[in-house]
Chain A
Amino acid sequence: MSGYNEQAAHSPASDTQDERLHLLGEAIEREQQELLNGIAFQLRHFRLTDGAGLEALAKEVLQETVVQASKIAERYDPAGDALLWLRAIATKVILRRRSKKRREQSRFSLVGDTQPVRRAGIEAQSEEKMFELLSRLRGRATPSQALSAEEILSLVEGDDRKILRLYYVEGLYGEELAAEFGTSVGAVHQRLCRARIKLRQAYLKDEN
């Protein structure tokens, strides 16, 4: 019988699948902690549980994510980042649970969930050009370019303007940018994203 097994293991298709499963297994073992905390955050942030049941539910979702990942392992491309792939699966597991919960709740209520589905509508062309301009200036703007950048950045105020200036005009990034605000790299990137979203909204408002 071992002959059959060895033969199967030598076919190129099973080699690739075996390698993929192996890498995926390693990634799950390595990233389970990060994944679990990401799941706990989503459950709390999207109000799927109260504080008391959070840990148990997060572990349940983690298990379901591992099972789901192994079922669709053939879609995993090892060239991409395993943690991101697992995070996306975990988010879909949470989405399914939320839909199920909502269906169950709607049985007891005639008024359904009327909350509109909000989309990340950030694909407008004109403000994309503005960001392209800012990106090109990043850290190497001439004095006159820096002045134009300041003009754009004046659409937002306070810390939003400060962080965008440090990032786009001064060219600060990561640890350097975090040090300016006395916070973590993650928090400063979160702040930077929020400032960019505000600038985009202000720019669109200004255009209209």
Chain B
Amino acid sequence: MQDDRETERMRARERLLDRYVLAIDSGDLEGMAAALDAAYEASSADPEVSHLITQINRAYCEEEGLTPLAADGQLVREILRRCVPSAFDTHDHLKRSLTVGDVASRLQAQGRVRPGDDKTNHALLGNTVPLPKPLTGPTIKKLAGELGTGGSEFYWRTFRDEAITMGISRSHDQAKLAARARRARRPSRQNKKKHD
């Protein structure tokens, strides 16, 4: 069963590579594009396809007597910065603790501040005091007293609820960022193969 699957996978790979080489050798650029589309589709199940196409491409470059070109890294980075800004998002805001000002901003943006509490909330915008840990009724009450900005009991209850929600979201984003950093540190399968 395992052998059959492996044979099938090898055959699919061979067919793709043959199609790719045949398209290049017969001067069929459309066929080459179609073969690459098919190879990309297959690559999630068979990562070896990309590695082999890279190797075959290098053989073609040698055959053509092409000297490897050096990419202009700076230029590509600038295009990426313009077209794919999120590729350069440092997520610095995730590295610092949530502050009173963060919660006040969120409450204002969501229109959750009652008219009687708007002065309190306004005074807290931009406040850099970190949120207390844990976020319990007593710690929030203590914080309100220390800040001395007033505010109704309802306001501070809403403040605490929002602070907890933001804390959960922040932990989730931090975990994603850490996973992304781990992936970036891990050598790609392709690079790993190159060094094997």
Contacts and interface: CB of A to CB of B under 8 A. Distances in A.
Interface of A: 1-4, 6-7, 9-10, 15, 18-19, 21-22, 24-26, 28-30, 32-38, 40-42, 44-46, 55, 58-59, 62-63, 66-67, 70-71, 73, 77, 79-81, 83-85, 87-88, 91-92, 94-95, 98, 117-120, 122, 131-132, 135-136, 138, 184-187, 189-190, 193-194, 196-197, 200
21 contacts: A2-B102, A3-B106, A10-B173, A29-B87, A41-B60, A45-B24, A45-B60, A63-B79, A71-B83, A73-B84, A80-B44, A81-B44, A81-B49, A81-B190, A84-B53, A87-B36, A91-B33, A138-B10, A184-B59, A187-B63, A193-B20
Q: Which secondary structure characterizes the binding site on chain B?
A: helix
B146 interface: no
Contacts of A15: 176
B15 A3 contact: no
Q: Which secondary structure characterizes the binding site on chain A?
A: helix
Contacts of A84: 36, 39-40, 43, 49-50, 53
Interface of B: 7, 10-11, 14-15, 17-37, 39-41, 43-44, 47, 49-50, 52-64, 66, 68-73, 75-77, 79-80, 83-84, 86-89, 93, 102, 105-110, 166, 169, 173, 176, 180, 184, 188, 190
A29 B77 CA distance: 7
Given A36-B71, A193-B21, A186 B36 contact: no
